[in-house]
Structure 1
Amino acid sequence: MIQLRALSAIRLSVRTDETTSPARQRAANSAEAARRGAVVVGEAEDLDVSATKTTPFDRPELGAWLRRPDEYDMIVWWRMDRAVRSMADMAELGRWAKAHRKLLVFAEGPGGTPMELDMRTASPVSELIMTLLAFSAQMEAAAIRERVTGAMAVLRAQGRYAGGLVPYGYEKIANPDGPGYKLAPDPDAVEVLSGIVRDVLNGDSLTAVAMRLNDEGVPVPRDHQAIKAGREPGGIRHGRRIERFRWTAGTLSKVLRSPALLGHRTHQGKTVRDHDGSPVLIGVPVLARDVHDELQDRLNALTPQRNRTRKDTRALLLGVAQCTGCGGNMYLSNRAGGADYNCRATARGVKCDAPAGMRADWLEAYVTDEFLRGVGDMQLTRVVTHKGYDPTSELREVEAELRALYADRDMRRSATGRRIWQEEVDAMERRAEALENTPRQESRTEIVETGETYAAYWKRHDTVGRRQLLRDAGARVVVAKGRSGGGAERLAGPDRSRLKFSIGEHDDPAKATEAALRLKLNN
């Protein structure tokens, strides 16, 4: 008697599902193959693969095995739903098995007993059973989806927490209106977020803010949630040492760009919408809409671009110090015992008739004194733009989601899938129509006092922040070429007659206008 060759097929939609774990499926398949006197010659293990979204032929491992039908005689699954969840997929698999004369086996069929579909011979009974079981599997999949969707919809309609990751800025609390939980602003996280938003809007880079948070020992979002739940913060283990997670510019950008700050429920970083296309809310917004929009504008302005000022240089006067001879910028260069600012016209392919140079400590001290003497006591202001009521940004989001939905149309093969697709499209179309009919209010700008003087801002910032302040204020120092030799200057200190300092278009800092001194956060 020829021994049958069996292929053990394993599938799991969610890798962490213990009830249908790969080990359990593998054991059931092996036991059934042994009961039939077959030897397992291979295994097709597809994890994190949904049967409702992929056919057996589209799955990475099973699909590869199905293209090599001569290597086995039968395929064993634990249950029917591990193979297919739609009648169309079952019909396709049945045609393949009939064409290649294969035996399809399920270790646990209806009632828990093994079941086989012998497609090696023309058997109308096997095909009928296959169709009925496929119909049952498809109905079960639809019922599960509807139960989950219905349960989630009920929870959201009641404003209750439906599970999943709690966005940073919120915490899970007991529902005061009934059973379950709700999300509410987390006072500790909101305080941290307020400081982050304030610093970013005041001109700090995300890297600088991240460094400050790390220096202050502020836990990252995942550790904050762990601490709130009474668990130990995470980290990367290096032997006996654990390196805790730290804030980065990327972490900050992800938190600050999340629509959850507006109180929106999100999925894969996008706003979840109801049947009318309106955002589904998780609770009270952490940020007001105008602050959120201003923050997004600032973050967009921080996107890396060409010809931006270098952040890795310690040159305070980069973009501030200029050579009188050619009008070009002066650059910091090191030398034995110190550093100098020099004209580098030749590096730009330009000839300078009077290239200037001066000791860095002299020039930086001079500019610092002149700048703070002129404007140090003045209050720093910033320009705030109020966008009013402008549906343009949300309309773009709806348009992108509609485009994605229309591209997904041909993927919905079942009637149920097409119905759900149409419902999603109708909801987004209604939302788009509502936004198109929403009147647009013109934006306006205002100058807001920060409550901080230029001197105080200067004191609490490093070289990068101070340089940006000088540049935003329009500060310039023009340096003329010194006398040959320069011995007297080295002994007596800097020759200030070679220097001309200005803010904006004013030679006298005391006469500089507010417009020239305004901190332009979008630069």
Structure 2
Amino acid sequence: MNRQLRALSAIRLSVSTDETTSPSRQRAANGKEAARRGAFIIGEAEDLDVSATKTNPFNRPELGAWLERPDTFDMIIWWRMDRAVRSMSDMAELGRWAKQHGKLLVFAEGPGGAPLELDMRTVSPVSELIMMMLAFSAQMEALAIQERVTSAQAALRAQGRYAGGLVPYGYGKVPNPDGHGWKLAPDPEAVKVLAQIIRDVLDGQSLTAVAMALNNAGTPVPRDYQAIKAGREPGGMRGGRRHERFKWTAGTLSKVLRSPALMGYRVHRGKPVRDRDGEPVLIGQPVLTHDEFATLQAHLATLTPQKNRTRKATKALLLGVAKCAGCGGNMYLVKRVGGQDYVCRATARGEKCPAPAGIRGDWLDTYTTDRFLKALGHVPMTKIVTHKGYDPTPELREIENELRALYVDKDARRSHTGRKIWQEEIHALERRAETLEATPRTETRTEVMGTGETHAMFWERHDVTDRRQLLRDAGAQVVVTKGRPGGGAERLKGPDEKRLTFTVGACTVPEATEPKGTGPDEL
């Protein structure tokens, strides 16, 4: 009695979305072919978002794992040849494996639509010949598809039309007003988020801090945002199953903020797409002007990569502002029964302070606030705005690199259409290079501008974190000297003024009237 054959159903798809129907179609075709042969399916190798052109069967996540266990099945069933391989070398490797382990390779729909079987259980030159002929056909089809797609996308990008792929953050698809297809335009919701991100970054916040704030607010990352806009469920895909949503990271922010798409440029593989004259093709209205983008890039270039560590946020207004007179170190806010105190923490640094100071926290906050606002509250705030000059050299180097890459790519353009597009790209870059070579270099300049508010106005509308940064930026410092033992008089009247010295910048601020009813506790 013949043993019933065990079949492995293999499914592959290059691009998977929530609307994909091909996996279920492949699954049904494979099941029907197994039933026709009297075989039973023992398992399924489902590889979604996997290209046959870029990965051979042995490197695919699920199929590769099954191929390492050849004793568990007798045949592999694919819907069509291109679901298995798209190159002769991959087919040859799969054929050697099937011959070594005595397997049937079955395609539910072969040439003409009829099932095709390659029986590698016995030495069959005919099967090997058919296998390589079909592999050759699949490889030629893959090359033709690749060239058609490349040419079509290049033509669409040259027209400023959306050619598919991930939409740059800050933009969304809109109907093309000039004809068929789609174009990209600024998305109001994403632009609002981008504007806040850029403000926070230029105000001095680190990319990690901004990313944490976005995650805490539940702001979706670019990939999730596009999924939500398209009516799909956000989150990653793995093995056909959806996982948790992505989170903002400093790396994600850096990628978004450094993209020329913010200037309205259409970007392909990280580079601006150019028209026939070498000018960047525009998506639409830019999110940032050239000067604003240059200012942002200059600021990002100054950021120092930080170690991946999480620091607990502090509510101490005077961290980095309050200093111990005994050792010159920072004073830290610590809890005590009934309140909080600023204390010297020299011992935590492995040092010994000759006169460690301590003072009641709320009193010192009020004392410092009064003196700071008395000194600078009425003073208008300013900011330094850098107007970037223009140096055509970097773009010239980019065009030089693009030209070099295009000249290397010349022989790969086999069709007349491909060579025509190649020549148009060369001419466009040459014209842009000529324009840049004739463009003079301008120098960077800085300008001090008012923000429209005083220090007191800024203080009023910001929280402890921003107020602390304002104090630091102004060079404010309050030095606390160790109190006398006992300190009874201070409990009643407030601290001895000789214990405290407040300075801002290079100027010592005159002492102000002590706050009423807030005398410190001597430590």
Cα pair distance change 1:141/1:186, threshold 3 Å: same
Cα pair distance change 1:358/1:42, threshold 3 Å: closer
Q: CA RMSD in A?
A: 4.7
Unaligned stretches of 5+ residues in structure 1: 236-244, 511-523
Q: State the distance in 2 between where 1:71 and 1:211 align.
A: 48
Amino acid at match of 2:24: A
Query: Residue 479 of structure 1 corresponds to which residue in structure 2?
Result: 480
Amino acid at match of 1:95: R
Q: State the distance in 1 between where 2:85 and 2:368 align.
A: 74
Q: State the distance in 2 between where 1:58 and 1:217 align.
A: 36
Query: Residue 130 of structure 1 corresponds to which residue in structure 2?
Result: 131
Query: Residue 374 of structure 2 corresponds to which residue in structure 1?
Result: 373
Cα pair distance change 1:316/1:225, threshold 3 Å: same
Aligned pairs for 1:207-246 within 5 A? none
Query: Residue 331 of structure 2 corresponds to which residue in structure 1?
Result: 330
1:375 and 1:509 in contact (8 A); partners too? no
Q: Secondary structure at the match of 1:57?
A: helix
Q: Secondary structure at the match of 2:59?
A: coil
Query: Residue 50 of structure 2 corresponds to which residue in structure 1?
Result: 49
Query: Residue 2 of structure 2 corresponds to which residue in structure 1?
Result: 2
Q: Which moved more, 1:39-48 or 1:360-369?
A: 39-48
Cα pair distance change 1:2/1:333, threshold 3 Å: same
1:5 and 1:41 in contact (8 A); partners too? yes
Query: Residue 382 of structure 1 corresponds to which residue in structure 2?
Result: 383
Query: Residue 36 of structure 2 corresponds to which residue in structure 1?
Result: 35
Q: State the distance in 1 between where 2:480 and 2:503 align.
A: 12
Q: State the shift of 1:18 in Å.
A: 6.7
1:371 and 1:509 in contact (8 A); partners too? no
- Aligned identity (percent) is 69
Q: State the distance in 2 between where 1:22 and 1:380 align.
A: 62
Q: State the distance in 2 between where 1:126 and 1:300 align.
A: 60
Summarize deviations over 1:432-465 as a string: whole Å, max 9, x none: x969989865533332222221111111111111
Q: State the shift of 1:286 in Å.
A: 0.9
Q: Taking structure 1 as the reference length, what is the TM-score of the superposition?
A: 0.76
Amino acid at match of 2:457: A
Amino acid at match of 1:471: R
Q: State the distance in 1 between where 2:2 and 2:392 align.
A: 72
Q: State the distance in 2 between where 1:105 and 1:167 align.
A: 42
Q: Secondary structure at the match of 1:377?
A: coil
Query: Residue 520 of structure 1 corresponds to which residue in structure 2?
Result: none
Query: Residue 169 of structure 1 corresponds to which residue in structure 2?
Result: 170
Query: Residue 161 of structure 2 corresponds to which residue in structure 1?
Result: 160
Q: State the shift of 1:225 in Å.
A: 6.8
Query: Residue 146 of structure 2 corresponds to which residue in structure 1?
Result: 145
Q: State the distance in 1 between where 2:151 and 2:510 align.
A: 67
Cα pair distance change 1:98/1:378, threshold 3 Å: same
Cα pair distance change 1:17/1:477, threshold 3 Å: closer
Amino acid at match of 1:294: T
Aligned pairs for 1:188-207 within 5 A? 189-191=190-192, 193-203=194-204
Q: Taking structure 2 as the reference length, what is the TM-score of the superposition?
A: 0.76
Q: State the shift of 1:42 in Å.
A: 4.2
Query: Residue 108 of structure 2 corresponds to which residue in structure 1?
Result: 107
Query: Residue 242 of structure 1 corresponds to which residue in structure 2?
Result: none
Cα pair distance change 1:195/1:98, threshold 3 Å: closer
1:45 and 1:61 in contact (8 A); partners too? yes
2:11 and 2:26 in contact (8 A); partners too? yes
2:225 and 2:234 in contact (8 A); partners too? no
Query: Residue 239 of structure 1 corresponds to which residue in structure 2?
Result: none
Aligned pairs for 1:435-450 within 5 A? 442-450=443-451
Q: State the shift of 1:379 in Å.
A: 1.6
Q: State the shift of 1:93 in Å.
A: 2.6
2:265 and 2:281 in contact (8 A); partners too? yes
Cα pair distance change 1:395/1:457, threshold 3 Å: farther
Query: Residue 61 of structure 1 corresponds to which residue in structure 2?
Result: 62
Q: Secondary structure at the match of 1:331?
A: strand
Q: State the distance in 1 between where 2:188 and 2:229 align.
A: 12
Amino acid at match of 1:355: P
Q: State the shift of 1:111 in Å.
A: 1.5
Q: State the distance in 1 between where 2:247 and 2:18 align.
A: 32
Q: State the distance in 2 between where 1:118 and 1:217 align.
A: 55
Query: Residue 516 of structure 2 corresponds to which residue in structure 1?
Result: none
2:399 and 2:433 in contact (8 A); partners too? no
Amino acid at match of 1:2: N
